[in-house]
A and B are shown apart, each in its own frame.
Chain A
Amino acid sequence: MNDVILHAHPTFGVLGILASVWVFVEALNASEANRSRVRVAAFVVTACMLIAWALGGYGYTVLYAPEKAIILAGPWPWAHNFVMETKARLFFIPLILALYLPIAATANIARSRGARIVVMAAAALIVLNGLAIEGAGAVVDYAVSAGFVHNGITGAQ
């Protein structure tokens, strides 16, 4: 079950990124015809990020301690001290933007240039932050593997 949680966390993060791209493209082509689609897409972003937060939070606060010890004992201790610690707090930036996105999308982006700019900016920032966080997660994951090899631990997978 824990493996499912650990893999579902980045999966929902990726789905949130993809939904943010969807919002960006809809906003780029904003019209009266796609107003409801933008709002639906914005809510999908929020839902995915909230689920990613809940799953990642459980992983970080409950499951991560043994992996942290392996990373710190391995050749890449900075993968925890810098990458994981930055990733864990950086996540709150796209989370806040994801909570804001459906609120921003309540404005008529087909008629308001200002609303369209804000929706596109928030969506783009979620994508960029999300990709950085996904990359950071991959570094942390690799650091755990490197730690196992470094310490001669086999069969952990």
Chain B
Amino acid sequence: MSAVPPVDAGAETNDALKGPPAGFGLAAVIAILFNTALAWAENVDEPLNAYMASLSGDPWRTHGFAAVAVFIVLGYFFTSRGFRIDGSRLGALLVAASIVAGGGLALWLVLI
């Protein structure tokens, strides 16, 4: 008799993510952090801000397109490379990235 309960065949043991949910998930984490980094950069680098304005007529528009482009391009890249990750780890990364990026944005704009 074992003290360890038998593994239930119907139990949820599949934590791993693969394919687009994994690849685009990591891309979302990076794009969220990139969004804050770009906000910092365009605030301190006036030539960059002017260049971004010249691309779409307003730096904010270019900022948004760049963040979405990073998400899409990296998503396809990681997916094509067969990236895998545990769902619980990816969920934690999404939460951490959002806290760091949101807090970083607010703190930066308080300081400048």
Interface residues of A (CB under 8 A from B): 53, 57, 60-61, 81-82, 85-86, 88-90, 92-93, 95-97, 99-100, 103-104, 106-107, 111-118, 120-122, 125, 129, 132
CB pair B60–A96 under 8 Å, yes or no, is: no
Q: Give the secondary structure class of A's interface.
A: helix
Return chain B residues, CB-CB under 8 Å to A104: 21, 24-25
A113, B64: Cβ atoms closer than 8 Å: no
Contact partners of B73 in chain A: CB under 8 A: none
Measured CB to CB, the nearest residue on chain B to A84 is B109
Given A89-B36, A92-B67, is A114 in contact with B17 using a C-beta cutoff of 8 Å? yes
Q: Beyond the given A96-B67, A97-B32, A112-B17, could you list 12 further A-B residue pairs with CB under 8 A, ordered by the A residue number?
A: A57-B61, A61-B57, A88-B60, A93-B101, A93-B102, A96-B28, A96-B68, A111-B14, A112-B12, A121-B91, A125-B94, A125-B98
- Chain A residues lying within 8 Å of B64, measured Cβ to Cβ, are 53, 57, 92, 95
A-B contact pairs, 18 of them (CB 8 A): A57-B64, A61-B57, A81-B109, A82-B109, A85-B109, A89-B35, A93-B101, A96-B28, A96-B31, A96-B32, A96-B35, A97-B32, A103-B75, A104-B21, A107-B17, A114-B88, A117-B87, A120-B91
Closest Cβ neighbor of B14 among chain A residues: A112
